[in-house]
């Protein structure tokens, strides 16, 4: 079946631009997670949705980062006024349960801010 998909796969933004990253989770998956992964590091948690509710956004690094999942399926991570330190791979994962369940990752969006 279809896995988690993300778009775009690659994004180059000039510093100061806004970007929007999209995630399509596995159909029917209740939970959706966003992670940021820097080179040589493990994924770092950004935010968590259960259906359309954003239950945890403690990992968002600044108020320039905003995520939404208005209908409980597709999610968008928006970064305003991008900075060079925002360059990373942004991974989306979904899970069939609410907590403690296996997460399945999308291919990620590689963001480069120049």
Partner 1 sequence: RKEVEQDPGPFNVPEGATVAFNCTYSNSASQSFFWYRQDCRKEPKLLMSVYSSGNEDGRFTAQLNRASQYISLLIRDSKLSDSATYLCAHYNNNDMRFGAGTRLTVKP
Applying CB under 8 A, the residues found at the interface with partner 1 are: 33, 35, 40-45, 48, 55-56, 58-59, 91, 93, 99-108
What DSSP line would sit under 92-105, residue for residue?
A: EEEESSSSS---EE
Tokens (6 digits) for 68:
């939404």
Q: Shortest Cβ distance from residue 40 to partner 1 (Å)?
A: 7
Q: Shortest Cβ distance from residue 82 to partner 1 (Å)?
A: 21
How long is the chain? 114
Give the SS3 label for residue 84: helix
The residue among 31 and 82 lying less far from partner 1, judged by its C-beta, is 31
Q: Shortest Cβ distance from residue 29 to partner 1 (Å)?
A: 14
Name which of 54, 51, 39, 37 is nearest 92 in CA terms: 37
Tokens (6 digits) for 35:
């992670």
Q: Shortest Cβ distance from residue 102 to partner 1 (Å)?
A: 5
The residue among 17 and 105 lying less far from partner 1, judged by its C-beta, is 105
Can you tell me the distance from the alpha carbon of 98 to that of 72, in angstroms, rounded to the nearest whole number?
Answer: 13
The residue among 71 and 102 lying less far from partner 1, judged by its C-beta, is 102
């Amino acid at each position: 079946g279809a896995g988690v998909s993300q778009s775009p796969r690659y994004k180059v933004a000039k510093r100061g631009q806004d970007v929007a990253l999209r995630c399509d989770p596995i159909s029917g998956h209740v939970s959706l997670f966003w992670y940021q992964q820097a080179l040589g590091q493990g994924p770092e948690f950004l935010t968590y949705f259960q259906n359309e509710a954003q239950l945890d956004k403690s990992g968002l690094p600044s108020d320039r980062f905003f995520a939404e999942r208005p209908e409980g399926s597709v999610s968008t991570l928006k970064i305003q006024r991008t900075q060079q330190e925002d360059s990373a791979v942004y991974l989306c994962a979904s899970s069939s349960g609410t907590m403690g369940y296996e997460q399945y990752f999308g291919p990620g969006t590689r963001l480069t801010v120049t």
